[in-house]
Amino acid sequence: MNHSYLLIGTSFTKLISIIVRNGGISINNINRLLFLFQGSIWSSIFSMIEKIKFAKKLKYCSEVINPIIIVGHWRTGSTFLHQILSLDKQFVTPRVVQVSVPGSLLVSEPYFRSVMNRVMSKKRPMDNVALGPDEPQEDEYALLKIAKNTPLEKLVFKSKKENFSEVLLDMNKDSLSSKQSEKLKVFLKKIYYKNPGIVLLKNPFHSYRIEELKKTFPKARFIHIYRDPVNVIPSTVKMFNIIGKQNRLKGKWVNENLYTITKSFNHLWKCLKNQLYCLSKNDYIEIKYEELDSDPQKIIKTIYNHFNLEYTSDFDSKVQNFLFNVKNYKKNKFSLSAEEKDHIKKSCKDFLNHYY
């Protein structure tokens, strides 16, 4: 499954509405549309069944009031951190199969897990990170399917902006509407209903939305993970270009480059910093990827101490086993010219002075 995976699992009516809202698709993407249609029919059937079986139960389900949310730019090691923390049984986090079918996950998860096990690639398209139906995943992929006008729509459909990174430059603290917040709450309530616990999220887009998320979830806490932009920016260029080309339904994908992503990197950091530093220091912690990579258990224990979480021996054993299994993981390597490195360092001078 290498194409159009961002929208797979969207219900039929929502798929039609998102296509109409964005002015249709390009004719050369008709095969992708047919692929999405066959999945949308099943999703719609399961959604109706879920409403019949679970509407009343979800209505009286406890509110999700205590999420811990990992924020920061793409390619900063947030997935690595998310994978480790999700091993702790006190957390409940969205999985790939759940964000794929957010409208029906309470009834359709077993069916779609079986299908995805047969058709999914075993690695993510932009790196060598393991991918499977039960791997932890970003809730943004669920929002795309259940809420209107999320930023990923502009990755799938051509916007008035030339580059997707220009869409990111328009994002700010008001980028999560109240309706989108309510859709997110419903999705997380389903996750919580299946497995009550502290909701754990990882989503770079939430870096723009800290203020609104704090209103929606007053007890929310945040982990900001950051990394040297010389490594982050070329990796982000590769990621967006791969995902964009594999999922675009309308208009030609315009490649991102080091200069466009450097600009959006700085914009995200300023948005995040201005909102994060308005919170109580008990509500957030910042960690450096290079330190997490060097001594994961030390940094995880620092996070747990900061948030007064119990670090159990069972969790510690799982962390050690996970680290052993990924010890031979090979990171992407990028060869930058002296001019490119200099551009990043000069452009990100404020960020580097702040953290490094």
Question: What pTM did the predictor assign?
Answer: 0.94
Which pLDDT value is given to residue 162?
Answer: 81
Domain segments of the chain as ranges: 65-94+138-355
pLDDT (tens digit per residue) in 310-340 = 999 999 999 999 999 887 777 777 889 999 9
pLDDT tens sequence across 180-232: 999 999 999 999 999 999 999 999 999 999 999 999 999 999 999 999 999 99
Pick from 221, 192, 216, 234: nearest CA to 75: 234
* Residue range 105-130: mean pLDDT, rounded: 81
Label residues 269-297 b or e (16+ Cβ within 10 Å = b): bebbbebbeeeeeebbbbbbbeebeeebe
- pLDDT at residue 60, rounded to an integer: 78
Instruction: Return the amino acid letter for 77.
Output: G
Write down the H helix ranges in 198-283: 210-216, 229-247, 258-276
Closest CA to 99 of 138, 135, 63, 65: 138
Query: 71 has which bridge partners?
Result: 224
Which residue in 151, 57, 40 sits closest to 101, CA to CA?
40
Residue 328, token pair as written in the block: 């031979």
Please classify residue 176 by burial: count the beta carbons closer than 10 Å to its beta carbon, then call 0-12 exposed, 13-18 middle and 19+ buried: buried
Instruction: Please give the span between the terminal C-alpha atoms of the chain, in angstroms, as a whole number.
Output: 40
Assess contact for 245 and 238: CB atoms under 8 A. Answer: no
pLDDT of residue 126: 66
User: Tokens 């060598």 sit at which residue?
Assistant: 128
What is the per-residue pLDDT for 63? Answer: 77
Q: At what angle do helices 178-194 and 105-119 cross, to 10 degrees?
A: 80
Which CATH number is 65-94+138-355 given?
Answer: 3.40.50.300
- Residue 232 tokens read as 């982050």
Greater confidence (168 vs 125) lies with 168
What Cα–Cα distance (Å) separates residue 150 from each residue in 79, 120, 146, 210, 258? 21, 25, 9, 16, 24
- Residue 107, token pair as written in the block: 């009834």
Read off the pLDDT of residues 23-79 as tens digits, 9 standing for 90 and up.
999 888 888 888 899 889 999 999 999 999 998 888 877 778 789 999 999 999 999
> Tokens 């199969």 correspond to what residue?
97
Q: What is the pLDDT of residues 218-277, one digit of tens each?
A: 999 999 999 999 999 999 999 999 999 999 999 889 999 999 999 999 999 999 999 999
Q: Quick one: pLDDT at residue 95?
A: 95
**Predicted local confidence at residue 2, as pLDDT:** 57
32 and 250 Cβ atoms separated by less than 8 Å: no
Distance CA 250, CA 287 (A): 38
Q: What is the mean pLDDT of residues 156-172?
A: 89
Residue 223: strand pairing partners: 70, 285
For the chain, the average pLDDT equals 92
At residue 328, the pLDDT reads 78
